[in-house]
Structure 1
Amino acid sequence: MLFQKPYPNNLDLAGENTRINNFIIDFLVSIILAYMAAKFTNELSGDSLMSLVVFIMIRFMYYFLPEKIYGKTLGKMITKTKVVDINRQEPTTLMLIKRTLLRAVTLLLTFISDENVAFHDQFSKTYVVNEV
């Protein structure tokens, strides 16, 4: 485990089941939105490389923009959790960019994570906490 309980600053980290629910909701919604945008792009341009770029950009923006603006994605809104830094403050833009980019490898590296702090959280120094 990277962190021992209690977690830094006694953060009330979202539990494993909540994190799984966040993942399922956000993954499905972001995949559907990205697929629809990529398909539309391909129909307009006939360029499959451009469609792939659109797919990746939509997936990135799905996570980055809501977490930057609201501190949470749709999944986190439903589960009443949010993303914070070690001081329970809004993460910096750079932290959120790292967090979003690292999501691409999170599933491959889950063995590094403990039950409540995912790989993309560890390396971006962000935490998903229960809302107060």
Structure 2
Amino acid sequence: MSNSTYVLDDKLMVSVGARFLNYIIDLIAIMVLLIGFGVCVGILTALFDMNFLSIWIDGLGDFGWNVIAIILTLIYYILMEGFFGRTLGKFVTGSAVVDENGEKPDFGTIIKRSLCRCIPFDALTYLGGSRGWHDSISDTYVVNKKALAEEVKTFHEFNLIGIKEGN
């Protein structure tokens, strides 16, 4: 009897350098979103004479902008990883977020993973060679997407050995 459930191999995990590049690219994307938010507020204020938006923006201060940045960051990661299993950084580096069976995690797991990014210093936790807090707490992995596809294909082909055709 063969085991038909694939379990992820650690050799598929991306390097620390790829993780860092993912982080930098995603950070730039989030900054662009934040600038876009400011531009949209400015356009709405100018076009529709929404002076209350201008007053609101002026009164935000550092704390308010930090809250907006956190909200936009959560939206970015939840939507990108929730729908695609990848962020812009992961698209560039050819990596993806998966569960222990090499599958795209469910939306609840992605939300948990994204919320864990709010833990102070989380972004630095993977630099020591470990998986990082947002990975280990949510039971997710960042792997090389092409290598994973090959590994899963080989695994399933191996499991077909000895099975009669037509069964």
TM-score normalised according to structure 1 size: 0.79
Secondary structure in structure 2 of the residue aligned to 1:9: coil
2:129 paired with 1:118: no
Distance 2:24 2:126 in 1: 20
Task: Report the CA distance shift for 1:122/1:42 in structure 2 as closer, same or farther (over 3 A).
Answer: farther
Aligned to 1:131: 145
Distance 1:108 1:90 in 2: 22
Q: Does the 8 A contact of 2:122 with 2:134 survive in 1? A: no
2:55 paired with 1:56: no
Deviation (angstroms), 1:36: 3.0
Deviation (angstroms), 1:56: 2.9
Task: Report the CA distance shift for 1:114/1:88 in structure 2 as closer, same or farther (over 3 A).
Answer: farther
Aligned to 2:163: none
Number of matched residues?
125
Structure 1 residue ranges, 4+ long, deviating more than 6 angstroms after superposition: none
Deviation (angstroms), 1:114: 4.5
Aligned to 1:104: 118
Task: Report the CA distance shift for 1:80/1:42 in structure 2 as closer, same or farther (over 3 A).
Answer: same
Amino acid at match of 2:8: N
Q: Does the 8 A contact of 1:35 with 1:55 survive in 2? A: no
Distance 1:29 1:81 in 2: 17
Aligned to 1:3: none
Contiguous gaps of at least 5 residues in structure 2? 1-6, 46-52, 147-167
Task: Report the CA distance shift for 1:96/1:89 in structure 2 as closer, same or farther (over 3 A).
Answer: same
Q: Percent identity?
A: 30
The two structures, once aligned, show a CA RMSD in angstroms of: 2.6
Q: Say which is worse superposed, 89-98 or 36-45, in terms of deviation.
A: 36-45
Secondary structure in structure 1 of the residue aligned to 2:118: helix
Amino acid at match of 1:121: D
Aligned to 1:29: 29
Question: Max radius of gyration: which structure?
Answer: 2
Distance 1:111 1:56 in 2: 19
Contiguous gaps of at least 5 residues in structure 1? 1-7
